[in-house]
Amino acid sequence: MTARIEHRFAQCRANGRAALVTFVMAGDPDPAVSLEIVKALPKAGADVIEIGMPFSDPMADGPAIQAAGLRALHAGMTLHGVLKLVADFRKENAETPMILMGYYNPIYVYGVDQFLADAMAAGADGLIVVDLPPEEDEELCLPALKAGLSFIRLATPTTDDARLPAVLANTSGFVYYVSITGITGAGRPDYSRVATAVKRIKGHTDLPVAVGFGVKDAAAAREIALNADGVVVGSALIDALAKTLDAEGRGGPATVEAVGRLAGELAAGVASAAKERAIP
C-alpha cells in the first residue's frame, strides 16, 4: 500500500508541482455525507486524502477538528465505520492514497493486529498517530510497517537536528512537517522559516516533506507549495463544511459542494506555484 503514496508523490514531482493533501473527519457531519465528501476530493484536485478517526479526547486538534470529531461521534461513527468508509471509497477509486489519522487509544481498544489487518483489507495506505513517539514504535509503528502500511511521522519547529534522526528512523510514505507550534488551525506559518525547515529535514531523508497547520486558502497553499513536496489542509476544509450545516448540524449536497469548491481553489493555488518552485 505504501507504493500508492510513493507513486502519487513521484507523479506530482514529475509534473513539477507539490501534492495537495486534504484532511477531513470520517463521519462528519454523518457517514453518508462524509463518504460523498471523500469521493469529491480527488475530483476537485486532492492528491492524497487523510481521514480523521474521531476520538473523544483529541489533544492536538484545534476547535474546528475537535467539533468535527464530536459531530462524527454523535452521528455514530466508529473505527469500524471509518474502515468501511475507506472500503466504500475504494470501490470507485483505486489510485488516491488514503491515510488514517488520529490517536492510539481507539486502535488499542480495537486490537492492533486486527486493526492493521482490517485497515489493509479496506484499502488504507498509511497511518498518522499523533500521540505515539518514536520510543513507542513497537506498539504500532513497526507492526504497521510489517503489515504493509506506511507510518507517517510529524516533525515540528521544535524538532532539532539531535531529535530528527529518531523521528525519521521508521517513518515511511512522507514526513509531515507541522509549520507552527500548537494545535491545528491556529495562526499562519512563517513561510521563510518553513522553507528553511523543509530544506533541513530533506538533508536527513529522501522522503517527501509535506507541510501543514495554518494553511487556510489558495494563497497560503501556493506559498507552501513553493518549497514543500506537499501541502496539507484540514481545518479550512472543515470550516467550509461547518458553515453549510443547518441548525440541527445536518449537511447535504451543499456541504459536499462547499468542501469540493475549496479543495479546487487550494489545488489551483498549489498548481500556480509550479513554475517558481525551489524544489526540482
Q: Is the dihedral of CA 61, 255, 219, 15 positive or negative?
A: positive
pLDDT mean over 68-91: 97
pLDDT at 185: 44
**Whose grid coordinates read 470529531?**
69
Exposed e or buried b per residue across 232-244, where buried means at least 16 C-beta atoms within 10 angstroms of its C-beta: bbbbbbbbbbbeb
206 is catalytic: no
DSSP state letter for 212: E
Where exactly are the structural domains of the chain?
2-273
pTM, whole model, 2 decimals? 0.95
Selecting among 61, 118, 137, 239, the annotated active-site residue is 61
How does residue 213 score in pLDDT terms, banded at 50, 70 and 90?
Answer: confident
Find out whether 209 and 188 touch, Cβ atoms under 8 Å: no
- The span from the first CA to the last CA of the chain, in angstroms, equals 26
Tens digits of residue pLDDT in 33-68: 999 999 999 999 999 999 999 998 877 778 899 999
Determine the Cα–Cα distance for residues 201 and 79; give it in Å rounded to an integer.
33
Catalytically annotated residue among 28, 30, 47, 50: 50
pLDDT at residue 167 greater than cutoff 70: yes
Distance, CA of 203 to CA of 126 (rounded, Å): 23
* Strand arrangement, sheet containing 150-151: 150-151, 126-129, 98-102, 48-52, 19-25, 230-233, 209-212, 175-178, 154-155
Max CA separation in the chain (angstroms): 50
In this prediction, residue 190 has a pLDDT band, given cuts at 50, 70 and 90, of confident
pLDDT per position as a tens digit, 233-247: 999 999 999 999 999
pLDDT of residue 170: 95
Domain 2-273 has CATH 3.40.50.720: no
Lowest mean pLDDT among 20-24, 95-99, 178-182, 224-228: 178-182
For this structure, is 160 an active site residue?
no
Q: How many CB atoms lie within 10 A of CB 100?
A: 26
Half-sphere exposure of 43 (CA within 13 A, CB side): 13
What is the per-residue pLDDT across 267-276, written as a single tens digit (0 to 9) for each?
Answer: 999 999 998 8
| pLDDT in the model for residue 183 | 46
- Give the residue, 67 or 182, on which the prediction is more confident: 67
> Quick check: helix, strand or coil at residue 161?
coil
Q: By three-state DSSP, how is residue 117 classified? A: helix
pLDDT at residue 280, rounded to an integer: 66
